């Protein structure tokens, strides 16, 4: 249920602008939205990308699915409704970081095109860089670093993406990072090459 907005008076126009903050940080803020199956390498690549960006002097914030669900999303389950609400919250948080001039690297399964479009609509198309961490179900199952695939196949986890819940690959404009037969560092450098022109500040 949507809350009553009658007595809410936003004051965004009183603060320093995003442009001012980007100038202060000498970077352009942007959302790097990584989607892919559980175990595909989203967070691992995000960590490597963050380190590369840090070396180059960029300020970033990684928003990771497990971290979010242990905090602001701790009241949510994995139903379709909760997944949508989780992504909505993340998108709103991302907007705040972008307004501060900070580059966000978001790691979320976000399994359907519709769910990712919710995030894109909130964040804004021009600020949303969709990245498909392209790893096959078989490879993710082989890695199974969290033991989730085994639990899902035993029926201990319901609505598991790729097994009994759908995953829809990106179809529109996106960056495709095929991870198999590539190191984490190689994947991060490929991604860095794609996003660097879009976050480099030119006054």
> Domain extents for the chain?
17-199
| pLDDT-based confidence at residue 13 (cuts at 50, 70, 90) | low
Q: Which of 74, 110, 136, 194 is catalytic?
A: 110
Q: With 80 as the cut, is the pLDDT of residue 6 above it?
A: no
CA distance 9 to 77: 32
Q: With 90 as the cut, is the pLDDT of residue 182 above it?
A: yes
Question: Does 126 or 10 have the greater pLDDT score?
Answer: 126
CA distance 108 to 16: 30
In tens, the pLDDT along 95-116 reads 999 999 999 999 999 999 999 9
CA distance 199 to 103: 8
Does 110 participate in catalysis according to the annotation? yes
Read off the pTM: 0.88
| pLDDT-based confidence at residue 70 (cuts at 50, 70, 90) | confident
17-199: what fold?
Answer: Rossmann fold (3.40.50)
The SS3 of residue 15 is: coil
Give the Cβ contact number of residue 167 at 10 Å: 17
Per-residue pLDDT, averaged over 170-193, amounts to 96
């Amino acid at each position: 249920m949507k809350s009553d907005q009658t007595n809410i008076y936003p004051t965004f126009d009183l603060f320093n602008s995003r442009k001012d903050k980007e100038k202060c940080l000498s970077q352009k803020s942007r959302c790097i939205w990584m989607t892919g199956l559980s175990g595909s390498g989203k967070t691992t690549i995000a960590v490597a990308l963050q380190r590369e960006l840090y070396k180059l002097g960029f300020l970033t914030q990684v928003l990771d699915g497990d971290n979010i669900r242990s905090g602001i999303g701790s009241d949510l389950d994995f139903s379709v409704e909760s997944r949508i609400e989780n992504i909505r919250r993340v998108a709103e948080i991302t907007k705040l970081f972008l307004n501060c001039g900070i580059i966000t690297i978001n790691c979320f399964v976000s399994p359907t095109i519709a769910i990712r479009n919710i995030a894109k609509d909130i964040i804004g198309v021009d600020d949303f860089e969709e990245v498909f961490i392209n790893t096959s179900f078989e490879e993710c199952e082989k890695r199974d670093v969290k033991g989730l695939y085994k639990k899902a196949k035993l029926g201990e986890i319901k609505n598991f993406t790729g097994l009994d819940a759908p995953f829809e690959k990106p179809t529109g404009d996106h960056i495709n990072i095929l991870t198999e037969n590539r190191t984490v560092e190689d994947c991060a450098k490929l991604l860095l090459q794609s996003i660097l022109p879009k976050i480099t500040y030119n006054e």
